Amino acid sequence: MPSQQEQSFLAKSKIKTADLEHRRKINFNISKYNAVIPQGKSQFSDVNLAKERAKNVKWRAIETLDQYLEEFESRITRQGAKVIWAENAQDALENILKICKDKNCTTIVKSKSMVTEEIHLNDFLEKNKIESVETDLGEYIQQLDGEPPYHIVTPAMHKSKEDVAKLFAQKLGTDPSATPEQLTLVAREKLRQRYIDAEIGITGANFIVADIGGIAVTENEGNARLSCAWPKTHIVIAGIEKMIPSINDLSLFWPLLSTFGTGQKVTVYNTLITGPRQAGETDGPEDMYVILLDNGRTNILASEKQRESLYCIRCGACLNACPVYKNIGGHAYETTYSGPIGSVITPNMRDLGDWKHLSYASTLCGNCTEVCPVKINIHELLLENRNEAVKTGESNFGERMAWKLWKRAMLNRRTMNTGNSTIKNWVVNSFVKEWKKNRGEIVFPKKSFNQMWTEMKGKN
Ligand code: SF4
């Protein structure tokens, strides 16, 4: 019996695949991304070597993650920040609420962070009567529309400028024919006051830097800087896998993330935060908290094969390259992390039985692996998830029997040569009706390889 998540995924995917207007918008936005990627890549004399080096750095960070986390904690604590270890989402949420109560907080400004999506922070804060305002323009649009982000880098990728103008007109009373520049100015004006009102600013972290005890935040709008520098309290929430060993590694990771995330050579604002405001400094928060979140990441760390998925720097390139993502879109997955990398990590961070279907939502074309800046073997990890699902009894009886028979037939020359292609087509396609629901017919060639081989040898 398919899980409820699988049924919902299939139903939503079916609708989206037939939605040509959705596809047009996605193809348009991804084509703009594809057009600028070569510019970003041109800054590397050998982009493949850069990717190789990045993979090695992340390998070192993840293999000795415990040591780097402790190094980070001890340094940033010495610089005045408080580190909180959160085992799961509930832990993180309770700690954030406690800080909010201590600070009498009623308004929070938040910069874009997928980890806060993962723990459903905004819903939680709303239930506790704390207003949380998204300050990244794409996230602000999504929040106005009551939708989760569609893409890990480009939250409103599925919306055209006309969609956004309509949304702003409905929610903020702007002119429906306003240009993107005018709409941006409206959002800017609204948000400026929120920075002033907010008692707390929340950001994520693109990287946790062990040797300086710092948090690296990358953004294009300056909203993360305002979120962490203006309110009196700054909370950072970061997955533990965001670790890099040294500040020197940023000279590689910042351009790589920019290039593969948005095609820029370097993102507009890159900020390093190493603690709250120090004596003699003119700005920055009085208090800084860093919440280091596990939430299933150590499950992945425990698996020697899957561990490499923790190298991900969330650039989103694999989503843009994936033919499945481009057809079904980001919301069909119903996960925080969608696309190929989401399909790899979600079953391992959450529940294999509920989410294994995502590992089958791939053509295994390998395009995701090809584009990944840290060279994660994404398509092989998808296969590994499938393997794990079979080993742990998560595949169904019919599927197991079908593959058993298939294997037996394929390994036996006489069976392979029995009957012509019409009979084989009929036999096999009658057995795999369920499998064929979302796939085409299996068509056998007129002659088997063995027959062709024999004929060819006869000619020579
Ligand atoms: S898996 Fe690779 S390509 Fe995909 S988001 Fe992560 S770093 Fe980018």
> What does the pLDDT read at residue 421?
87
> What does the pLDDT read at residue 223?
96
SS3 annotation, 397-432:
HHHHHHHHHHHHHHCCHHHHHCCCHHHHHHHHHHHC
60: Cβ contacts below 8 Å, ≥ 6 apart: 245
Q: Which alpha helices (DSSP H) does 293-396 contain, by range?
A: 297-302, 317-321, 323-328, 339-349, 352-355, 357-360, 367-371, 378-391
Contact 53, 255 (CB under 8 A): no
Q: For residue 261, report the distance from its CA to the centre of ligand 1, in Å.
A: 9
> What does the pLDDT read at residue 2?
84
**pLDDT above 80 for 129:** yes
Q: For residue 82, report the distance from its CA to the centre of ligand 1, in Å.
A: 30
**pLDDT above 90 for 35:** yes
**pLDDT above 80 for 439:** no
Pocket test for ligand 1, best of 307, 372, 377, 381 (most atoms within 8 A of CB): 372
**pLDDT above 80 for 161:** yes
The amino acid sitting at 216 is: A
> What does the pLDDT read at residue 401?
84
Average pLDDT over residues 326-342: 97
Task: From the CA of 368, give the closest atom in ligand 1.
Answer: 3
> What does the pLDDT read at residue 410?
86
* Mean pLDDT for the chain overall: 94
Q: pTM for this structure? A: 0.91
> What does the pLDDT read at residue 286?
97
> What does the pLDDT read at residue 459?
74
CA distance 82 to 285: 13
Pocket test for ligand 1, best of 41, 244, 254, 260 (most atoms within 8 A of CB): 260
pLDDT, tens digit (0-9, with 9 covering 90-100), for 206-215: 999 999 999 9
pLDDT, tens digit (0-9, with 9 covering 90-100), for 3-29: 999 999 999 999 999 999 999 999 999
> What does the pLDDT read at residue 395?
81
